[in-house]
A and B are shown apart, each in its own frame.
Chain A
């Protein structure tokens, strides 16, 4: 077979697989969007269907304007972006140390310490963290959430970044140091630009972790003005009834901004940015 036909087959197979993958991933979300556009009497019915008889934007209007969701989105953005930036800063430094100084005892203990920190179930962190935040007097403020979320993601971010550092040859750094750059400068100017996809992926992870977290969101925050979006979504499940329309609409509102951010950022997962720097 010629190369051309081989490529076409490969492409077709790819498209089919991608289509299956997309359906698998998007199906529940499609169901969420459709449900959010249904009026009350069509949502939870005996025979569910994808068709909407009387589509309505009522649920969205209610969620955005009746329920203060614009405040919640704002709060989530503030907390998530801050947690993301803070954890990136800390993890880049720690990840570098893990990669380049792996022989040192300090690194080994840090490795162990970070892994152990992941092993504590959230439920047992509830009361101790609450007490700590209380004593730091940051309850009912963005800071309590930012501090907690940063701490939760530092280990994984560090490990992932250290693995990314692993794939950068030392020759790059040595060259910069010969030119008189200090360590920090080397990292900032020479190494990081070459690691952009890894940084984007780790940053995204930290962001989304903070965005989706809900338990500490409602434990630390007791004032509506600081509430974040995911704990707020839980309110649609009432004591005796579930407001499915509102729940679905609120979830769509929670997912869309992040999806858009990703649509913008996924460009950074392209080889073109990289191939120049690593050569020779």
Chain B
């Protein structure tokens, strides 16, 4: 092919076409990108959670007893009414709310406070950080058994120290006394869960550019004012996520209370997940367990709606 000079107009046209093609490719790959990015997560979730979720929703409306297969069949809303009629249902709902709200509130306060403390440049910073991190590292059963032992009225070090120093007269049965049990379980839960808040807040605090603080200081802002106008806004996004996710987890959490009190003493610390465990593993009544689980799902979905509204506001500010 002869390389006779080509008219500049043609060259220009070809060049524009090439750029357009490249732009289109970029745009198309940009358009495809979110779906590709979400695909791996979807594969995992659909594969491993999809079936259990569908099973739970299905079983909620069936009579399903692992032991007595004679009872099988469509149950309509019977499982739901049976659950609500359970004499422990109201108490479990109340306990779940107290357990969730108190735990998350305590974890948030201590988590934020400790993150602010650990963010300061003090000597031994690394050492303090590791110590703060430890409650989260201890496996649940060990934490549960150790605290149970420490709080035991006859053999526990806590009661021993409290009585010998004269703070209390006789040992308190922390986990065996209905008046103390819920508070104790919440206390231990806060102990074990707050480090995650600390870590997340620490990471977020590091993302705050130093200049913002400097600017505020130049304006003469006090430490408190700095916190309110510089620090806190930056923490809103991670705080929102952690709080909402922890609300869901704490509400759904079963093993922690189970390890310490099994829902006792005499149902004083029973929560909805423990009730679910009892229905499915003790009574073998999968239908009622699924019905209760579905009810919890609906309740937590409503919380999600709240979360999503806030999330949108935050995202709009960043991405526009």
Q: Which residues of A does B touch, CB under 8 Å?
A: 10-11, 14-15, 17-18, 21-22, 24-26, 28-29, 31-32, 44-50, 89-91, 93-94, 96-97, 99-102, 104, 106-108, 110-125, 128-129, 132, 147-148, 150-151, 154-156, 158-160, 163-164, 166-167, 169-170, 177, 182-183, 197-198, 200-201, 204-205, 208, 211-212, 214-215, 229-230, 233-234, 237, 242, 244, 247-248, 251, 254-255, 258-259, 262-263, 266-267, 269-271, 273-275, 278-279
Contacts and interface: CB of A to CB of B under 8 A. Distances in A.
Contact of B114 (A10, A21, A233, A263): A21
Contacts of B146: 28, 31-32, 248, 251
Interface string B143-163: 101110110001111001000
21 contacts: A15-B122, A25-B131, A25-B133, A28-B143, A32-B146, A46-B155, A48-B157, A89-B40, A102-B315, A106-B34, A108-B308, A110-B41, A112-B304, A117-B49, A121-B296, A124-B56, A167-B207, A170-B318, A230-B141, A251-B138, A270-B206
Interface of B: 26, 29-30, 33-38, 40-42, 44-45, 47-49, 51-53, 55-56, 113-114, 117-118, 120, 122, 126, 128-143, 145-147, 149-150, 154-157, 160, 191, 195-196, 199-200, 202-204, 206-207, 209-211, 223, 234, 237-238, 240-242, 245, 248-249, 252, 254-255, 273, 276-277, 280-281, 289-290, 293, 296-297, 300-301, 304, 307-308, 311-312, 314-315, 318-320
Given A48-B160, A269-B202, A275-B209, A14 B120 contact: yes
Given A21-B114, A99-B315, A170-B319, A28 B138 contact: yes
A93 B137 contact: no
Given A99-B315, A271-B206, A201 B38 contact: no
Contacts of A113: 42, 45
A81 B301 CA distance: 32
B141 A267 contact: no
B44 A205 contact: no
Nearest to B278: A123
A102 B210 CA distance: 29
Given A28-B147, A31-B146, 12 more contacts: A25-B195, A26-B131, A47-B160, A112-B301, A115-B307, A117-B49, A118-B249, A155-B245, A233-B141, A233-B142, A269-B129, A278-B209
A120 B56 contact: yes
A2 to B, nearest CB: 16
Contact of B318 (A25, A96, A167, A230): A167
A215 B33 CA distance: 37
Contacts of A200: 203
A120 B131 contact: no
Contacts of A147: 44, 48
A87 B308 CA distance: 23
Contacts of B160: 47-49
A128 B52 contact: yes
Counting chain B CB atoms within 10 Å of each CB, the highest count among A18, A94, A119, A255 belongs to: A119
Contacts of A31: 146, 150, 157
Contacts, number: 304
Main secondary structure, interface of A, reads helix
Nearest to B30: A183
Q: Which 6 A-B residue pairs are closest in the complex by CB-CB distance?
A: A128-B52, A197-B203, A93-B37, A97-B37, A94-B41, A251-B142
Given A48-B160, A121-B252, A151-B44, A106 B38 contact: yes
B234 to A, nearest CB: 7
Nearest to A255: B137
Contacts of B238: 160, 163-164
B304 A164 contact: no
Nearest to A17: B117
B130 to A, nearest CB: 5
Contact of A22 (B44, B131, B312, B320): B131
Given A15-B122, A159-B241, A271-B210, A119 B300 contact: yes
